[in-house]
Structure 1
């Protein structure tokens, strides 16, 4: 049994995790511990507070009791807003507090892009434009060329969590770019676990979504590789067939 821990801010799309757990098989357990989201706002100052060391540390004790082998801060905006160096410091503090290998969703995207060999990517974000630009800058720091960035101007995770299949599909199509080898949807408040294969078929290229890459990153930290075609090219490394 591989037990993996996730610190997830608030309550929006956490039901993606039991869905993915069922997809991964009986020997992988995904344990979600909720952290205090503070002010629900896709605004830099609010995001810095949401990802503060004190808020993450508050969930660590509960997570340790689950027997997790690794922990991932399951939040993209609450990590990349710290910048490349600040996000590294955030993860180091989390690893020390938990006594476990640690990462965040922002680094999960960077590592997943490298895993797929996608030198150029497009970003289709729910965030306002200024916050989306911070994610683009983070990816550039990781050595990834961002050919386009689309922000949707959504302020709260609560609103994003209410989006369904049609909104997710529209976001991905609107954010795609012909020069991009992959499309990234960076918001763990967005329900995407049920739609990854359909997204990839529609766009004809890999699609990386926040909760998907977060789970993949935790598996990577634990030294596990799981073949799960329902979770897209990242979990199979096979190119999608366009519908």
Structure 2
């Protein structure tokens, strides 16, 4: 019998750029499954109190019943802001509670915030520019999360968009402008940290325009899930991160 295909399950808050995941699945093109279940956001707001509630364990656990029908090998909380908002220790507890609720070992669960930290380490880059859609205060939480993982943030911007719904409407040209206008000469990579932002169709365009690796939230979420499932095959068309021929040992956060 053929080997079972890898299945990475995603819990995704609300509705904005969830179509990046079937697009990723199609681009992988090898039978890998990336099922996604929407979680109840509560209030759609890039605001600290709303994000803490959005990422609460009971909201994540509510989506696991539906996701369990796909028998995922790995579960990823596909949200950056409602994971880094807890800080590194709180975000790790969130992942541990997610793994427990999913009936998986903690080495088979993660979140987009840890995916960014692990992707930065895998690429061997340290100096980062962050092109954030969030308000400045929320973007600051992401800076501190990455710095705790050993990165140096040389440029950060907050576009000040409050809702994920609005982020999801940004066009290709707006996404490219967001990345280009927030690059920095000293940055070794540029990060776009919002799973509400459509980016998967533009990954190669972004890296060609900037001349350096670009990491986006939905991209790193999928990469993290595959990594935790033991799938380290290099892929084309999904940026430098997916082109890696091997994954170094990750030493930050979850396994």
* Alpha-carbon offset, residue 226 of structure 1: 3.1
Does the residue aligned with 1:136 lie in a helix, a strand or coil? helix
Residue by residue, what CA displacement relative to the aligned partner does 1:136-184 show, whole Å, maximum 9, x if unpaired? 0000011111111111000000000001101100100111111010000
Partners of 2:234 and 2:244 within 8 A in 1: no
**Matching residue within 64, 77, 80 for 1:60:** 64
Which whole-Å CA distance do the structure 1 matches of 2:68 and 2:16 have between them? 23
Corresponding residue for residue 95 of structure 1: 99
2:205 equivalent to 1:198: yes
* Alpha-carbon offset, residue 65 of structure 1: 1.4
**Matching residue within 15, 18, 22 for 2:22:** 18
Corresponding residue for residue 113 of structure 2: 106
Aligned length: 238
* Alpha-carbon offset, residue 189 of structure 1: 0.1
Pairing of 1:61-80 with structure 2 (within 5 A): 61-80=65-84
Residue by residue, what CA displacement relative to the aligned partner does 1:187-239 show, whole Å, maximum 9, x if unpaired? 0000000001000000000000000000000001100023222110001139x
Which whole-Å CA distance do the structure 1 matches of 2:235 and 2:201 have between them? 12
Residue by residue, what CA displacement relative to the aligned partner does 1:64-117 show, whole Å, maximum 9, x if unpaired? 111110000000000000001000000000000001210000000000000000
Q: TM-score, normalised by structure 2?
A: 0.92
Which whole-Å CA distance do the structure 2 matches of 1:88 and 1:22 have between them? 31
Which whole-Å CA distance do the structure 2 matches of 1:95 and 1:71 have between them? 8
Does the residue aligned with 1:34 lie in a helix, a strand or coil? strand
Q: State the superposition RMSD in angstroms.
A: 0.9
Structure 1 range deviating more: 143-152 or 206-215: 143-152
Q: TM-score, normalised by structure 1?
A: 0.96
What stretches of structure 1 of length at least 5 have no aligned partner?
Answer: 239-243
What stretches of structure 2 of length at least 5 have no aligned partner?
Answer: 246-255
Which whole-Å CA distance do the structure 2 matches of 1:78 and 1:145 have between them? 22
Corresponding residue for residue 144 of structure 2: 137
Partners of 1:24 and 1:226 within 8 A in 2: no
2:56 equivalent to 1:49: no
Pairing of 1:147-162 with structure 2 (within 5 A): 147-162=154-169
Corresponding residue for residue 241 of structure 1: none
Corresponding residue for residue 30 of structure 1: 34
Partners of 2:129 and 2:182 within 8 A in 1: yes
* Alpha-carbon offset, residue 135 of structure 1: 0.3
Corresponding residue for residue 173 of structure 1: 180
Does the residue aligned with 1:26 lie in a helix, a strand or coil? coil
